[in-house]
Amino acid sequence: MSGGAKRRFRARVWVPLLVALLAAGVLTFVRLPYFAYRPGSVNALTDRIVVTVGESFEPEGEVFFTTVRQDSSVNGWEYLEAFFDDGIALYGEDAVLGDRSRDENRDFNLELMKVSKSVAVAVAFRHLGIDPYRATGVGMAAVEGPSAGLLTTDDVIVSVDGKSVLTSEALVEEIRGRSPGQVVSLAVESIDGTSARTVEVVLGARAEDATVAFLGVMVQTRWDDVEGLPIDIRIETGAVGGNSAGLALTLAILEMVTPGEMTGGLDVATTGTIGFDGSVGPIGGVAQKTVAAREGGVDLFLVPENEYEVAARHAGDLRVESVATLEEALAVLAELGGNADKLALP
């Protein structure tokens, strides 16, 4: 082989190899603006719920919450992997973070978990005939229009024209009964219950319907803890964030504070938010959580009703049931042999 031929041969070998190495380097070290969601784990709740007042009962079965594993640093290989593995979901940074930084997003999710735990306690206790919170007035997340300059987000409304309004629903109902241009007298105090005063507001009219009165506040009920309850608990979730464990937390609380076997001895994983009214709401990553539940070897997976089809496609031989409320979840467990329809404090 002549010298020129040898050089051409080496070029044919080395150039593609260098291109391949360069491509591999790019795929490995370049970070793309995506989050990857992979199947996470199933996590038992029995050892995370501590009964601080009242009796506790160790069940044979277990209630688990499910998680996704979030990879916030996606390279090219991982991006390509997601196209061939339907158990991995890619989301753009903007869709996940919005206007928050990564640290702010982590704090936001921890706050969601904190609120979720409080709601789960309230829903579980109310199912047992105990209300751990009492409404004490109507706070405001935003103030505009007729109330601007008169009310602030540090205020709480406790009455309208002398009539007590301790929930946001009660305030809305009172304002709905007034007319645009009417003056209302609001008894107001600060969030901590001090600095009581009276504020008079001239009601405006809603832009979409000029006949409907408009106060100009985004309302939220202020809740205070009720003291001296016959049962109380502490929930330890560590660094786990988000609100998708709401249903699981509610069921686990009920299992821990009542005698008998709510799950009939089965290991039950769940996902779904929980509302104050017991409604079960949608969550993200249901495909990944279903895979985690399947691989975790549980007997049953409860999911929000509008996410059942996605869960069923990834369930394999895992039994999946859809539920829209806490009552529906308890009914499923009762059908499978648990005492979920007879839960009561000892």
**Residue pLDDT, tens place only, 252-307:** 999 999 999 999 999 999 999 999 889 999 888 899 899 999 999 999 999 999 99
CA distance linking residue 123 with residue 73, whole number of Å: 37
Stretch 145-157: mean pLDDT: 95
Q: Is the pLDDT assigned to residue 37 strictly greater than 80?
A: no
Determine the pLDDT at residue 93. 64
Scanning the chain, the segments in alpha helix (DSSP H) are 3-29, 76-84, 93-97, 102-127, 168-176, 246-257, 286-295, 308-314, 326-335
The model scores a pTM over 0.85: no
Q: Please report, for residues 33, 151, 155, 191, the alpha-carbon distance to residue 195 in angstroms, rounded to integers and kept in the order given.
A: 49, 13, 9, 9
pLDDT band at 134 (very low <50, low <70, confident <90, very high): confident
The owner of tokens 């049931």 is: 321
Determine the pLDDT at residue 29. 52
Percent of the chain with pLDDT over 70: 81
CA distance linking residue 56 with residue 52, whole number of Å: 9
pLDDT band at 239 (very low <50, low <70, confident <90, very high): confident
Q: Is the pLDDT assigned to residue 69 strictly greater than 90?
A: no
Region of residue 50 (left: phi > 0; alpha: psi -120 to 50; beta: else): beta
Determine the pLDDT at residue 91. 62
**Residue pLDDT, tens place only, 70-117:** 766 655 545 555 566 666 666 656 665 577 777 776 787 778 888 888
Q: Is the pLDDT assigned to residue 207 strictly greater than 60?
A: yes
pLDDT band at 241 (very low <50, low <70, confident <90, very high): confident
Determine the pLDDT at residue 270. 96
Determine the pLDDT at residue 280. 95
Least confident of 18-32, 83-97, 157-171, 328-342: 18-32
pLDDT band at 240 (very low <50, low <70, confident <90, very high): confident
Strand-pairing partners, residue 13, are: none
